[in-house]
């Protein structure tokens, strides 16, 4: 079996739709999320496109054999704080360090443009993502039970001092 090369690139027209679709399909199949999660992802992606600040924000699309297999976004929360959003890796691209690679791309960019802190919001059951965040130096600073996406969940806020 050959190992396919995964490249990270900037988004092109059509990619935002695929990012939304990928999140919707995977989170429904793997975690039982309802369509309100896909709506949230669509809102985040649309906000990124509408309000994109190229000096301070980025989106990385992971592509393997011409197919979108992952993404991550870095958004500006304030002049000193950035926010990691929409990290996703398709099952066919997992186990290759892609989630770590996408997260590190965010961290490197955030440091380069002068952010002092990076924050993110995740759910306690997303163990693979949480392991990446912890291994990259993020620490959990808050958690709260909630009902969203048709599920009872525990939301977590993580942050990384840059």
In the chain the domains, ranked by start, together with CATH numbers, are 6-118 (3.40.630.30)
44-66 pLDDT, tens digit per residue, is 999 999 999 999 999 999 999 99
What is the pLDDT, as a whole number, of residue 4? Answer: 76
Q: For residues 106 and 74, is the Cβ–Cβ distance under 8 A?
A: yes
pLDDT score of 89 more than 90: yes
What would the two tokens of residue 44 be? Answer: 């985040």
pLDDT score of 2 more than 60: no
The DSSP output letter for 145 is E
Angle at 137 between CA 51 and CA 53, to 5 degrees: 10
Q: What percent of the chain has pLDDT over 70?
A: 98
11-20 pLDDT, tens digit per residue, is 999 999 999 9
What is the pLDDT, as a whole number, of residue 1? Answer: 47
Mean pLDDT of 123-128: 96
- Band (pLDDT 50/70/90 cuts) for residue 139 is very high
CA distance 157 to 153: 13
Nearest to 156 by CA among 118, 133, 124: 124
What is the pLDDT, as a whole number, of residue 110? Answer: 98
Q: What percent of the chain has pLDDT over 90?
A: 98
CA distance 9 to 135: 24
112-123 pLDDT, tens digit per residue, is 999 999 999 999
Mean pLDDT of 4-25: 96
What would the two tokens of residue 162 be? Answer: 């840059």
């Amino acid at each position: 079996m050959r190992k396919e090369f995964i490249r990270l690139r900037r988004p092109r027209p059509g990619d935002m739709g695929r990012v939304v679709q990928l999140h919707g399909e995977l989170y429904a199949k793997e975690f039982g999320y309802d369509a309100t999660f896909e709506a949230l992802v669509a809102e985040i992606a649309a906000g990124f496109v509408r309000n994109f600040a190229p000096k301070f924000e980025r989106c990385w699309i992971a592509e393997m054999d011409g197919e979108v297999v992952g993404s991550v976004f870095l958004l500006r929360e304030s002049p000193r704080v950035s926010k990691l959003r929409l990290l996703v890796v398709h099952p066919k691209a997992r186990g290759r360090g892609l989630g770590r690679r996408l997260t590190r791309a965010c961290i490197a960019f955030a440091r380069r443009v002068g952010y002092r802190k990076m924050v993110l919001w995740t759910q306690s059951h997303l163990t693979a993502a949480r392991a990446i965040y912890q291994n990259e130096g993020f620490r959990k600073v808050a958690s709260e039970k909630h009902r969203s996406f048709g599920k009872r969940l525990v939301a977590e806020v993580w942050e990384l001092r840059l």
